[in-house]
Structures are given as structure tokens and as C-alpha cells.
Amino acid sequence: MNENDLKRYTVILDNGSGILFQPLDEAKTYILSAKHVFYDEVSNDNAEDTKKIKATAKYYFSDSQNDANEIEIINGQNYFEHPDDEIDAAILILDEALGFDQIFIDERTTGFEDFNLTGFPENKRESEDQYDKQIIRDLNSYNDKLITLRLVVNHLDHEQIAGFSGGGIIKINSDSLLLAGIQSKTPIGPCNGEIQVVPIKRFEEIVELNNLPQLLPNFFSKIDLLLCSIIEFNQTTPNLQPKLQGALRIQSRQIKCDLKEVYNRKILNKSAIKANSLSSKQFWTSFLEYALIISLIEDGEFNEELLNKMSKKRKFIFSDSSKNIYDMYSDILLFAADNIDDQCQVIVGTMIPPSTNKTRRMSTDRVPTNISSINDDETIDRITLRNKIKEIIHIKAIELDCINENDNLLDQFSLGQFNEILTEIKRLVNEFFNN
């Protein structure tokens, strides 16, 4: 990705701008923009002027800025706006895939260095190239409805910033783009270097409220964004932390699954007790940690073939419940029982890890009788399937009860002996699962 891609993903949208975004539906393309761009003012002789939604919208791609594409606006069908009048956010849906699939949302609230405001300002609408961008300097303020950012250039007047409405707060992220928000209505008069931006979270709300295809989160762009939180080892001795991190970064190269592809093909749909967990960062962090653990056990690449195999032998399940892990066992046992081998180990990820080793690993022989008894929702076949489960292991047990319990053994290696450390971790993890 380069500077030209910032321009390529930005469109002229009537008198404003918009950002092209392919959601988790390869047959559609979104134009994310400001709500007010889709409205006309209606003059009333004896009353205040009002606004009404336009019948059509014209949009122009950056490489053909004089060639209009016109689309009928059908509210609730191809046009969706945020229901809060104070939130200037809307999505227009094009029923075609345009290849704008390397852009991801970024829900940041700080750290806007390297971000840009992109769009087609009013003062360049007569130019051969109408595109422009302004570099973001820093954050002024943030709340749930609005971000106020300061531009590097602090003397722009209304004509120089008008037309940027609906443009993106966007940055290059190696081989992808990150979108943090969309510019709201341009202030009348000089902006003094300040712009107001609708956070990208508000566009996610439009998607959720209308059951639209999801916006792709930034952690689908690089597994490193999830890996960093997995290998923090904040309960490990400071001297050992960098040794473990270095070793497991090497091992992470064995993870060959494309998270976006796994999501898009719904491969893990039955791995989440609640369907909405599939769009959460914690679900994918837990899954990546599972992939890393399986690659250690199998001492090879973690790919889709291995995932299918392990789903019968060492099954991954995620629950976003805040219950004690014992209280979750009835759900886990019920949910994990289908299509598994005898003596299956169920590896569970949760929002909050259990606090003791006794609640991080539990043989199903110890599950209270009343949990595994037949009830109105059960059948004899289901009980038989559940009896195939050998034990339930919380995903954090591997770090806390396997690796950390052997910190003295692992710390005998010097910093830089990553391959030797990795060999020892593999041995310990295999012993842990086969004990």
C-alpha cells in the first residue's frame, strides 16, 4: 500500500466524500460517509428550512473523477444511517464487488500519528485532480459520538475544508489501510486546524442494528496485532519474558490460517457459544492462542486441514460468559459434544481467565452429576456423545500451569537461544496434554 491507495479508496460523493470498504460479503461494497451528505435542504417560505433525503446520489472514483455513477437511494435497502440525530454517519451499499478489500476498521481513541484526512475539497472541484489529503497532527478530545482532531495545517478556511465531509481518517498499515473514522460536517468559517470525526464504532452500530455484513476489524489484517497480547507473559518473571516471546514469535510462523478467510467461510461458527462472539477481538485472540498451542503439540504448520483434524481430538470452544468456569461446564459440555473422537480434550477460551489451576483444568469425571444428567433439552444420544469428552482445559492453563510452572527450567537458557527454548516448550506442552 502507498499514498495512491489512500486516494484510490476515497470517492467523490455529490458535494462531499466517502470511503470504499468491502465488508464480509464479497458481493457488496460499502461507501461510508457522513449522513448529511445524503440530504438536500428544502426552503420553506413561512417556516424554517428543512432537510430531506436525496432520491439519488452520484459518486465518482478517484481514477475517473468526471465520470458519474448514479444510484437510487432506498432507505432501509441500500442506504442505512445512524438513528441518533447527533451522529453524522451513514452507509450506502453498492451491489458489486469492486476489490476494495484491503481496508480494515481501527477503533482507536488515541495515537492518530500517521493518519490522514482524505477527500475532495470544494476548492479543488474545478481542478483536473480534485483529491486532497490533510495530515493529522494529534488528538484534541474524544467521546463516544465525536473525535476532535488537529491537522498539521492550522489555517484552513471553510472553502478549503468543505467537501472533505464523509472523507476518511485513514492510514497506511504496510499492505493494508486502517480506517478510524469519517469526518463530520465542516464548520462554517476557519477551522483553525480542528476537524470533527465520527468514530468508526458508530458505523459498526449501523451494521449491527440493520443486520448488515460486518466491517472487517484491523486484527484480521495481521496476526501480530493479536499475537502481542497472547505472548505478554505478564505473570512470568521479567528475565524470562523476552526469551519466551522470542521463541513463540518463531513458532507463530507456523500458523498458516488466514483469519479473514476463516471468518468469511464460517469455519468457526460452531466454536462460539454465542454467535456475536465471532466479531469480538477476544474470540480471535483465543483462537490464535489455540492455533499456537496446537502447532506446538503437533510440531508443524497449523492450517485448515489440521484445524479440522483437531476439532475432533482437541476441540476449541469460546464463551463470553462471566460465569465461574464450573458454572459454564453445562454449556460447554452440551456445545462441544458433536463430531468428536473418544477422549476428546476441549480447550476453552473466555473473556476472564479462571484464577486457580483447579478451575483451569477439569476432568469430566469430576463434573457434578446434576450437570450431566438428562433433562428436557437432552437425549440419550447427546449424553453418549458428551461422555466422549475426557476433560476441559482453559486455554490460559497452558501458560499459567505449564510454562510458568517450569520457569526455572526455561530460564536456564540464555537470551537468543530461542530454538532451544522452543524445543523445551514443545516438550512441556506435550507432557501437559498427555498427562
pLDDT value at residue 47: 72
pLDDT higher than threshold 90 for residue 382: no
pTM equals: 0.71
Q: Using the 8-state DSSP alphabet, how is residue 398 labeled?
A: I
- Residues contacting 430, CB < 8 A, separation 6+: 296, 297
Per the model's pLDDT, the better-predicted residue between 249 and 385 turns out to be 249
pLDDT higher than threshold 80 for residue 236: yes
Cα angle 174, 176, 181; round to 5: 115
pLDDT value at residue 219: 78
For residue 179, the surrounding DSSP H or E stretch is strand 176-183
Give CA–CA dist 168/117, Å, rounded: 6
| Number of alpha carbons in the 13 Å side-chain half-sphere of residue 188 | 0
Structural domains of the chain, ranges and CATH numbers in brackets: 3-209 (2.40.10.10), 223-434 (no CATH)
Give CA–CA dist 302/432, Å, rounded: 19
The mean pLDDT value for 201-218 works out to: 92
Residue tagged 499492505 (cell numbers):
175
Q: Is 418 helix (H, G, I), strand (E, B) or coil?
A: helix
- Which has the minimum average pLDDT: 179-193, 220-234, 240-254, 414-428? 179-193
Give CA–CA dist 263/272, Å, rounded: 12
Q: Is 369 helix (H, G, I), strand (E, B) or coil?
A: helix
Q: How many residues does the chain have?
A: 435
The mean pLDDT value for 145-159 works out to: 83
pLDDT value at residue 395: 94
pLDDT value at residue 372: 46
Tell me the pLDDT band of 31, cut-offs 50, 70 and 90.
Answer: very high
Using a 10 angstrom Cβ sphere, with 0-12 exposed, 13-18 middle and 19 or more buried, the burial of residue 340 is buried
For residue 238, the surrounding DSSP H or E stretch is none
pLDDT value at residue 374: 45
